[in-house]
Amino acid sequence: MARVLTTCIYCGCGCGLYLESETCPERSRRDGMIVGSYPSRNHPVSKGALCVKGWNAYEFINKLDRLKAPLIKSNGGFEEVSWDIALEMVSRRLLKIKEKYGEEALGFLSSAKATNEENFLMMKLARAVFKTNNVDHCARLCHASTVVGLAATFGSGAMTNSINEFEDADLFLVTGSDTTEQHPLIGSRIINAVNDRGAGLIVVDPRKIELAKYATIYMAQDNGTDVAWINAMCNVIIKEGLYDKKYIEQRTENFEELKRTVEQYTPEYTEKITKIPRDLLVRAARLYAESKKAMIVYSMGITQHTTGVDNVKSLANLAMLTAHVGFASTGVNPLRGQNNVQGACDLGALPNVFSGYQQVTDDTARAKFEGMWKVKNLPSKPGLTVTEIFNEALKGNLKALYIMGENPVISDPDSNHIRKALEKLEFLAVNEIFLSDTAQYADVILPAGSFAEKDGTFTNTERRVERIRKAIEPVGQARPDWEILSEIARRCGYKGMDYSHPSQIMDEIAQLTPIYGGISYDRLDPFGLQWPCPSKEHPGTPYLHKDKFAKGKGSFLPCAYAAADELPDDEYNFVLSTGRIYWHWHTGTMSRRTSTLDREVPAGYVEINPKDAEKLKIKKGGRVKISSRRGEIETSAVVTEKVKEGSIFVPFHFSEAAANVLTNPAVDPVAKIPEYKVCAVKIEKI
Amino acid sequence: MKNEYVPHPAIIESFQSESFDTKTFKVVFEDKALADSFDYKPGQFVQVSLLGVGEAPISITSSPSQKGFLELTIRAVGKLTRTIHELEPADKIYIRGPYGNSFPFEEVAGKDLYFIAGGIGLPPLRSVITSVFDRRGDFGKIKILYGAKTPYELCFKEELQSWKRMADTEVLLTVDEPDEGWKGNVGVVTTLWDKTDMAASCGAAFVCGPPVMIRFVIEKLLNSGFEDENIYITLERYMKCGIGKCGHCNIGEKFVCTDGPVFTYSQLKKFPDKERAIA
Amino acid sequence: MKERLLKKDNVKALCVSASDQWETYVPLEGFGGDVQFTKLDNEKRELSLDKLNLNYEILTVPPKVTVFPQLESLFRFQDEKISETVKPKAPILLFGLRACDVKGILFTDDFFKRNFEDIYYLNRSMNKLLVIVGCKHPLENCFCTSTKTGPFLESGFDLQLVDIGNKCLVEIGSEKGQEFVSSYGKFFDEASKDDVECSKIAKRDAEEAVRLRLDFEEAIKKFCDDKVPREIYERIAERCIYCGGCLYVCPTCTCFNVFDDIKASSGGRYRNWDACVFAGYTREASGHNPRFEKWLRTSRRYEHKLKYDYLTTGTSGCVGCGRCLSSCPVNIGISQVIEEVSKR
């Protein structure tokens, strides 16, 4: 029996938990079992608690259908081969395709579930070895708007404050975040603050989420109308003189433009767009402005729109207007979904930046990386994003893709389009722990170690860089992703990925990445450090933009409201929104293999309003067909008041009733994030 | 110490379709010694599983006097039972048990016996009925009231006819939705009260069926003069271990798997309403 | 009760020596001050014992995990041949338990023996030595004096250590305890009358240090008389986030789920901790769920501990350890329910 302190694999809360392992006498050393997971009592986020997923994180690791040997496609199925053959195949094919079509024909998808070190290596592989900036990961699908929007307004695209600061806040403005479902340990802090300390709560969400029952003010806007209601709040705050003149003068620029833009967004005008009653808008504006420690909390409901960047900028404007940035228990707090999506972004698994958000177009930055990596001519043009990669693949321009720990067939919009794109590729290699829907398309599958089988670090949503620790040897012949990536680099003739332990990778990261400058494994015990941590003595940073913004002065970047790309019409007369639920996680590869979670919600469903259900003669549990211009799915109905009339909601975890078969691949023009939250569908009883 | 959790392999000898989603399987333990020695009481159940799929409690529908095999009536309603329905004779199935309490023969000796069942509720009672007919002289009048949704869904159609021919025995059937050939009663089981004398001067009633049916039948029985302690009900709950450990089948301070599944109405009355002991 | 003395300096050496014969579990401090009950690895035991911490606040998961793990396999199968995976009996020494946790283990021992014997639990648990190191500093969530389960016990232990400075008074509570003290006699000294007096003072101090005081008996009475208003359960059911944590960490919770895993023709049947607050806990294959409503599950959760355990065993299922409250993300604990019910 052994026990290690590690970080939970599920959401961006990054709870500290212990994994208990057992080597059974009848199982080999490479067949250790994880027999328990329980909370760390002193960890700043978990504080002795976990959500149901964390409490059951031990189970999926041991499942017998873990990928245990390298596989190559053969005769309509897969054949086991040696690592030698598999790795040779991957490196050879990628090099050949680069030779034949150029480096722009290659794409690399990194993983928001893999460690910081592994994300760093993936982008290093793409850039130093294959000389392409076509590296991206699923942040494109979730918080790409945040990275762009907050970088533009504040100079830094990360959550401004910390999770424990929720415990002292006076007011929360929660929008587009089903916090109790998606970030339970943060949602719980909101519940406690509201119930035990009398904190105020404004919830703005088209769906009546659980948190709404505690709300001081609940506003149900129409999907995709966020710029309007946020501008309306600014309008009221300016009109009633509730803004902080001194703060605006000293710390921001461009206020006049904001004032001009929001002038037309009066509560009356905005009510027409958003359907939010005007007096609620006024009350919410006053409550937010007058609360001293007010925190904006948001997630996919704000970011996953064709106007995602505008939505984020508008929230930033609202916060700056009322001096709610740069102090404890305030700020603009995007809740990062995956356990390490923050880290994957920080470590440069993005087409336009190296680690630390240093631009690939910046000559000095390139020179620094070229020096450290001992290569010349790192690519200087920003590469393709995830959404563009699949478009180019379908067009036949992108020929090869190397995917690590991602499942685009279920997670990306317009699944049929993704499937066709994958089929069109000349070569697809995948690092995975289970045979996912995406892995089915691979030419080579490399079995990867789970989070329990390697050392490394994750960065949670509050910028906390914390350790994961190896509890058991990788099962079967699996290897940690960092070893796999290093091997491929080596076989491609590159000598700069010769590491014996992830801590060495972190040392290299620290030298190249100012915000991680002071991070090293010996400093991360026991519970990590929050970046920016620029030097070895720096204690880490709980909240950002203290005294001044990361870019100096914060910029008001006002936006005009624009409707979503595809709204209901006569044929497709319902609005579809997609999202997540508490019991499952993203594409379900781990949570659906966990008995307690699977028992709670064994199959997909659609939420439909009782009045709509009655009109369409749909009963609770009845089978329905939902169709959009992209495709159709069959699923079971849950009749609930949670969704507005004319709207339905489908959680995207279930591959047999995959929400993304229906979703619209239209993207935000700058962030390239898909509009998962709004598209037009029709629904009928079967 | 015996390991209660390890099941024993049994072979499916044959099966019979009772209705579109219900089959009665005849199974024999692979180990001959076990097959010969396996003993149980009417009303008990076994835990039936398929390795790699799961396990579920199934009442034994054959009578203990029928040695060497077990009959299990299984309705395909979940993953395990649907997989069992795909099995053929000579396929293997895993069984452990018997568990649960049983129908109390000693207490009801000499009494008139009334068996009231709905749909899939007849199989557990069949074990008792067959055992009762084995010792016909020990008991008084016998009435069997049984209802199903449609005539096709009545279980043990042939046996029902043979029961009709037993001494001093009445079998009354009813369906909710008759077909063309149906000449019997139409309506829920409680409508059969009008077709026979249900006054229970010295009778014991055995009830098994869907929760809603149980509630209405009990009402009728009480109105007909049955005593609380002479009404026996078989309860159903989600079970995993069958031996009072996993907790899932708990009602109040009792476990359906060890203190039940047979309870008297006087016992069930003691549970607070919210335990839904009776629908 | 017979007494001996154990100098604190001798504790580590005693553990090292005992671990030759017993599978020894001791509280070791790990990262960031988290103390966990850990099995001493014979090779690394001296090193591990540097982290021994008998003054710990509380173990996050109770010692029940040593005899009832979160996940264990019941049997494996290969080509339809079943092989059991019952852990062979071995003597285990649980050194450094708190009184409340010992009460918990005695409770679960009784449960797994009742009716049918659970071989998986009993093989791990049947041959064990329970050594209490009594609490000196109860936490704010502790209420063991109200449940009469601590900070020290009158019986049920093999040895009970009372901290009296640089030494502990050792109370011998059973024959097994006596045997242990005799076998390892070189680590124990005679206890003087002074030592015994000091231990009485230490015990009294510990008792007085328990700040949370509840009218536990009154609450039990109200639970048994069904005088708990539904509104309390509804309120808790609404706030609860259904993590299962309060039940996972409870020393007397024993519910588990059973599931199979298979690949090709080989696999296993396993059991893992379950919690009655989940909807799927009572949902039948047909979809029917007798405890569909949240408040019914909350009422089950509390009534099991405070009414039904009492009716079945004569003692309630709550040992006053306060873990449910410590591990609840939304600050719900059984102590609050007990307090509210006893006062209404």
Q: Are A35 and C60 a contacting pair at CB < 8 A?
A: no
Size of interface B-C (CB pairs under 8 A): 114
CB A221 within 8 A of CB A206: yes
Q: Are C115 and B92 a contacting pair at CB < 8 A?
A: no
Integer Cα distance of A364 and C171 in angstroms: 73
Element (H, E) at C15: helix C11-18
Query: Chains touching chain A at 3 or more Cβ pairs under 8 angstroms?
Result: C
Q: Is C256 on the interface with A (CB under 8 A)?
A: no
Kindly tell me the sign of the dihedral angle through the C-alpha atoms of C41, C46, C47, C49: positive
Assign residue B233 a region: left if phi > 0, alpha if psi is -120 to 50, beta otherwise?
beta
Closest-CA residue to C66 (of C51, C87, C84, C42): C87
The residue type found at C214 is L
Q: CB-CB: which of B3, B53, B247 is closest to C276?
A: B247
Domain count, chain B: 2
| Confidence band of A596 (pLDDT split at 50, 70, 90) | very high
Q: How far, rounded to the nearest angstrom, does the alpha carbon of residue C132 sit from its chain's CA centroid? A: 12
Three-state secondary structure call for residue B56: strand
Residues B135 and B175 in one domain: yes
DSSP per residue, A410-461: HHSSSHHHHHHHHHH-SEEEEEESS--TTGGG-SEEEEBP-GGGS-EEEE-T
DSSP per residue, B194-206: GGS----TTEEEE
Residues B146 and B211 in one domain: yes
Q: Which residues in chain A touch residue C272, judged by CB atoms under 8 angstroms apart?
A: 56, 59, 595-596
Q: Minimal Cα–Cα distance from C203 to chain B, Å?
A: 35
Is residue B2 situated within a structural domain?
no
Residue C53 has a pLDDT of 94
Q: Are B54 and C259 a contacting pair at CB < 8 A?
A: yes
Q: Are C243 and A40 a contacting pair at CB < 8 A?
A: no
What are the tokens at B155?
A: 């279980």
Residues B119 and B218 in one domain: yes
pLDDT in tens, B45-102: 999 999 999 999 999 999 998 899 999 999 999 999 999 999 999 999 999 999 999 9
pLDDT in tens, A485-535: 999 999 999 999 999 999 999 999 999 999 999 999 999 999 999 999 999
Is residue B158 situated within a structural domain?
yes
CB A178 within 8 A of CB A335: no
Is the pLDDT at A26 greater than 60? The verdict is no
| Confidence band of A27 (pLDDT split at 50, 70, 90) | low
Q: Are B247 and C256 a contacting pair at CB < 8 A?
A: yes
Is residue B123 situated within a structural domain?
yes
Residues B120 and B227 in one domain: yes
* Residues A551-580, mean pLDDT to the nearest whole number: 97
Residues B38 and B114 in one domain: no
Is the pLDDT at A639 greater than 90? The verdict is yes
Is residue B230 situated within a structural domain?
yes
CB A39 within 8 A of CB A58: no
Query: Chains touching chain C at 3 or more Cβ pairs under 8 angstroms?
Result: A, B
- Nearest residue in chain B measured CA to CA from C88: B1
Q: How far, rounded to the nearest angstrom, does the alpha carbon of residue A635 sit from its chain's CA centroid? A: 26
Residue A28 has a pLDDT of 64
Q: Are C259 and A595 a contacting pair at CB < 8 A?
A: yes
Residue B279 has a pLDDT of 63
CATH number, domain with residue B147: 3.40.50.80
Q: Are A39 and C72 a contacting pair at CB < 8 A?
A: no
Is the pLDDT at A571 greater than 90? The verdict is yes
Q: Are C257 and B246 a contacting pair at CB < 8 A?
A: yes
Q: Are C118 and B252 a contacting pair at CB < 8 A?
A: no
* Residues C312-339, mean pLDDT to the nearest whole number: 96
Residues B139 and B86 in one domain: no
Q: What is the DSSP letter of A126?
A: I
CATH number, domain with residue B95: 2.40.30.10
Integer Cα distance of A386 and A351 in angstroms: 9
What are the tokens at B232?
A: 């026996």
Neighbours of C197 (CB within 10 A): 12
Q: Are B244 and C115 a contacting pair at CB < 8 A?
A: yes
pLDDT in tens, A48-99: 999 999 999 999 999 999 999 999 999 989 999 999 999 999 999 999 999 9
Residues B29 and B83 in one domain: yes
Neighbours of B223 (CB within 10 A): 10
Residue A157 makes CB contacts below 8 A (sequence gap 6+) with A143, A146, A147, A148, A149, A150, A151, A345, A357
Q: Which residues in chain B touch residue C259, judged by CB atoms under 8 angstroms apart?
A: 54
Integer Cα distance of A575 and A572 in angstroms: 8
Q: Are C311 and B211 a contacting pair at CB < 8 A?
A: no
Is residue B250 situated within a structural domain?
no
Is the pLDDT at B201 greater than 80? The verdict is no
Integer Cα distance of A144 and A676 in angstroms: 13
Residues B59 and B149 in one domain: no
Q: Which residues in chain C touch residue B118, judged by CB atoms under 8 angstroms apart?
A: none
| Confidence band of B214 (pLDDT split at 50, 70, 90) | very high
pTM of the model: 0.97
Residues B113 and B181 in one domain: yes
Q: Are C327 and A39 a contacting pair at CB < 8 A?
A: yes
Q: Is C33 on the interface with A (CB under 8 A)?
A: yes
What are the tokens at A668?
A: 């935000």
Kindly tell me the sign of the dihedral angle through the C-alpha atoms of A348, A354, A358, A361: negative
Cα torsion at A483, A487, A488, A494 (round to 10°)? 120
Q: How far, rounded to the nearest angstrom, does the alpha carbon of residue C153 sit from its chain's CA centroid? A: 14
Is residue B270 situated within a structural domain?
no
Three-state secondary structure call for residue C221: helix
Q: Are A65 and C263 a contacting pair at CB < 8 A?
A: yes
Residues B61 and B135 in one domain: no
Q: Are A184 and C328 a contacting pair at CB < 8 A?
A: no
Q: Are A3 and C36 a contacting pair at CB < 8 A?
A: yes
Q: CB-CB: which of B3, B241, B275 is closest to C119?
A: B3
Q: CB-CB: which of A40, A180, A595 is closest to C241?
A: A180
Integer Cα distance of A38 and A453 in angstroms: 17
Mutation choice for A interface testing from C37, C59, C60 by most A CBs within 10 A: C60
* Residues B134-138, mean pLDDT to the nearest whole number: 91
Is residue B33 situated within a structural domain?
yes
Q: Which residues in chain A touch residue C330, judged by CB atoms under 8 angstroms apart?
A: 188, 191-192
Three-state secondary structure call for residue C227: coil
**Residues paired with B264 in a beta bridge:** B232
Is the pLDDT at A405 greater than 90? The verdict is yes
Q: CB-CB: which of C112, C118, C285 is closest to B81?
A: C285
Q: Which of B64, B99, B134 is the last residue of a domain?
A: B99
Q: Is B253 on the interface with C (CB under 8 A)?
A: yes
- Nearest residue in chain B measured CA to CA from C309: B253
Residues B217 and B150 in one domain: yes
Integer Cα distance of A263 and A336 in angstroms: 32
Residue C32 has a pLDDT of 80
pLDDT in tens, B254-264: 999 999 999 99
Is the pLDDT at A414 greater than 60? The verdict is yes
Integer Cα distance of C54 and C9 in angstroms: 13
Q: Are C269 and B5 a contacting pair at CB < 8 A?
A: yes
Q: CB-CB: which of B78, B245, B275 is closest to C118?
A: B245
Q: Is C272 on the interface with A (CB under 8 A)?
A: yes
Q: How far, rounded to the nearest angstrom, does the alpha carbon of residue C308 sit from its chain's CA centroid? A: 19
Expressed as residue numbers, the domain containing B142 is 106-234
CB C270 within 8 A of CB B51: no
Residues B35 and B53 in one domain: yes
Q: Which of B218, B234, B250 is the last residue of a domain?
A: B234
Q: Which of B50, B69, B99 is the last residue of a domain?
A: B99
- Nearest residue in chain C measured CA to CA from B49: C260
Indicate the average pLDDT of chain B. 93
Q: What is the interface pTM, i.e. ipTM, of the complex? A: 0.97
Q: CB-CB: which of A18, A48, A525 is closest to C327?
A: A48
Pairing of strands A33-39, A71-74: unpaired
Q: What is the DSSP letter of C307?
A: I
Q: CB-CB: which of A195, A213, A596 is closest to C274?
A: A596
pLDDT in tens, A173-228: 999 999 999 999 999 999 999 999 999 999 999 999 999 999 999 999 999 999 99
